[in-house]
């Protein structure tokens, strides 16, 4: 039976090679990223502990209807499209079409990841790991059908397109890459870069006036070298250079003017105090507990990271104030943010309700696994505090 190559995004007949299979999975991941944004946003704003972010059954159960709808709709799309992709990839690997074994195995591979949505336990985690291994085998195993085709010299990965995306596209007259520009402000940014890297050579060669393949690759190689150097500079060299410059500036200033370091520290402390005064309505520092009061209306609109950073900032502020204090009870104080975290708590300025704290139960730590679990539960946030009643309308 003659098996035809079918690289369409949605299809269940024919076969598909490794490259197109991977590319179509990237497209599917991009769709998933956008459709699950409502649930992702709800998750980061309503998770009470870090471990809650991995408790998918409870998250989906508690999520608003519209967020759950988009998520389940995404799951349905992923299963339907993913099943067709895996079937065609296995047909290519085994060279057999309309095989019940291929259909059954494809269904298992596609459905196993969703077990995590119904039950999170070591068994589902093990099945997920095994499924990932099989998925990688399916991706990298050469096909009996597409593997017999001569290599397409145009379809090489283009590092210039990967790093440069729409800028690279502008200089190569590949204006289709402009769609990647708005995606850089979304979680799908890296996926957009991958698409440009994989498809870049095809797009550029199609627009190229010179159809000499050797000259084309030579030109793209020169561009890729330039973009690799630029990316290495921005990602690695520039941060290190800025860090050395900042440290050098501080050290040089301290040597030239010994009081400048103290001035820098004082300015930093003033900035921290200004942030605390802006975020919190009141605070009370003590030996056993630091109490910070915040408007619950502002609290409910914060993400998990924002709340955690606020808690860390409050602990840092408490440590600084105690070091500066002339109070007799802080005379021998030698604490830091780490020691203050466990006694720093955030309360509602409306009714005194506890909103956030950092607490570790040492009795729960028996081994490495329990220590990690305890750490993930250590930061506790109340995401549904009681809110003050709305103000009556003014006449």
What's the rounded Cα separation, in Å, for the pair 338 and 362?
Answer: 16
CB 356 within 8 A of CB 381: yes
pLDDT of residue 104: 95
Tens of pLDDT along the chain (395 residues) come to 589 999 999 999 999 999 999 999 999 999 999 898 888 888 877 777 666 666 777 778 788 888 889 889 999 999 999 999 999 999 999 999 989 999 999 999 999 988 877 776 778 888 889 999 999 999 999 999 999 999 889 999 999 999 999 999 999 999 999 988 888 888 889 999 999 999 999 999 999 888 899 999 999 999 999 999 999 999 999 999 999 998 888 778 778 777 766 777 777 778 888 889 999 999 999 999 999 999 999 999 898 888 999 999 999 999 999 988 888 888 888 888 889 999 999 999 999 999 999 988 777 777 777 777 778 788 899 988 999 988 776 65
User: φ and ψ at 354, to 5 degrees?
Assistant: -70, 125
3-state secondary structure (DSSP) of residue 149: coil
Pairing of strands 344-348, 290-294: parallel
Query: Of 199, 235, 204, which Cα lies nearest the Cα of 219?
Result: 204
Closest CA to 291 of 275, 303, 279, 280: 280
- Does residue 183 contact residue 189 with C-beta atoms inside 8 Å? yes
What pLDDT sits at residue 261? 64
Nearest to 89 by CA among 130, 135, 127: 135
> SS3 of 284, please?
strand
DSSP per-residue letters across 253-277? HHHH-HHHHHHHHHHHHHHHHHHHH
pTM assigned to the model: 0.75
């Amino acid at each position: 039976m003659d098996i035809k190559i079918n690289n369409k995004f949605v299809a269940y007949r024919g076969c598909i090679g490794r490259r197109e299979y991977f590319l179509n999975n990237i497209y599917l991941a991009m769709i998933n990223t956008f459709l699950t944004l409502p649930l992702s946003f709800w998750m980061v704003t309503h998770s009470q502990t870090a471990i809650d972010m991995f408790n998918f059954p409870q998250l989906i159960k508690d999520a608003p209807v519209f967020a759950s709808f988009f998520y389940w709709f995404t799951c349905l799309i992923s299963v339907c499209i993913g099943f067709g992709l895996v079937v065609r990839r296995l047909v290519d690997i085994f060279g057999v079409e309309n095989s019940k074994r291929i259909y059954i195995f494809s269904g298992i591979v596609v459905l196993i990841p969703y077990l995590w949505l119904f039950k999170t336990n070591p068994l589902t985690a093990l099945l997920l790991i095994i499924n990932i291994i099989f998925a990688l085998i399916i991706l990298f195993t050469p096909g009996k059908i597409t593997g017999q085709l001569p290599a397409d010299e145009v379809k090489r990965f283009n590092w210039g397109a990967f790093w440069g995306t729409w800028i690279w596209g502008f200089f190569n007259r590949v204006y289709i890459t402009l769609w990647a520009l708005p995606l850089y402000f979304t979680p799908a940014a890296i996926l957009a870069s991958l698409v440009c890297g994989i498809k870049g050579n095809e797009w550029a060669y199609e627009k190229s006036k010179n159809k000499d393949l050797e000259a084309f690759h030579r030109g793209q190689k020169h561009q890729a070298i330039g973009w690799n150097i630029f990316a290495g500079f921005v990602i690695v060299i520039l941060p290190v250079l800025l860090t050395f410059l900042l440290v050098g500036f501080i050290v040089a200033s301290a040597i030239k003017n010994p009081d400048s370091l103290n001035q820098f520290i004082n300015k930093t402390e003033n900035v921290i105090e200004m942030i605390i005064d802006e975020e919190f309505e009141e605070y009370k520092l003590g030996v056993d507990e630091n109490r910070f009061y915040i408007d619950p209306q502002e609290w409910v609109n914060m993400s998990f990271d924002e709340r955690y950073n606020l808690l860390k900032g409050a602990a840092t502020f408490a440590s600084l104030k105690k070091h500066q204090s002339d109070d007799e009870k802080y005379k021998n104080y030698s604490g830091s943010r780490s020691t203050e975290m466990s006694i720093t708590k955030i309360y509602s300025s409306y009714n005194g309700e506890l909103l956030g704290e950092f607490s570790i139960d040492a009795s729960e730590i028996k081994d490495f696994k329990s220590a990690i679990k305890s750490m993930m539960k250590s930061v506790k946030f109340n995401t549904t505090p009681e809110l003050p009643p709305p103000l009556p309308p003014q006449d």
